Amino acid sequence: MSYDPNNIFAKILRGEIPCDKVYEDEFSLAFHDINPQAPVHVLVIPKGDYVSMDDFTSSAPAALIAGYMRAVGHVARELELVTPGYRMLANIGANGGQEVPHLHIHLFGGKKLGPMLSR
């Protein structure tokens, strides 16, 4: 799947659409999900044209992969999710239920999250 530069997260990265920003650095941007599924629900996206974890892990430069993953950890610590525990999740493609075709890691926390998958 080729990258669609008009996806909503690309527009957020370009500043064309606002977001409720949590963190930003040269590699990544984190913001609150517009439709939260838990008391804390934050999305962390890389600064680069990657549809999903699939092309990110196969084509992104090592510095971006490292910087992005460090940002995910940093945001979880900043949100004080580590001690109580939290969940990170990335949906990929149709079976994964991915809606926005720009890689994003969801961070969920703030309560006991229950089973990993709904049945």
Binding residues for ligand AMP, rule: CB under 6 A, are: 8, 17, 19, 31, 33-35, 43, 91, 97-100
Q: Closest separation between CB of residue 15 and ligand AMP, Å?
A: 13
- For ligand AMP, which is the closer residue by CB, 16 or 80? 16
Q: Closest separation between CB of residue 82 and ligand AMP, Å?
A: 22
| DSSP for the chain, written as a single string | ----TTSHHHHHHTTSS---EEEE-SSEEEEE-SS-SSSEEEEEEESS--SSHHHHHHHS-HHHHHHHHHHHHHHHHHTT-TTT--EEE---HHHHT--SSS--EEEEESS----SS--
- For ligand AMP, which is the closer residue by CB, 62 or 117? 117
**Residues noted as catalytic:** 104
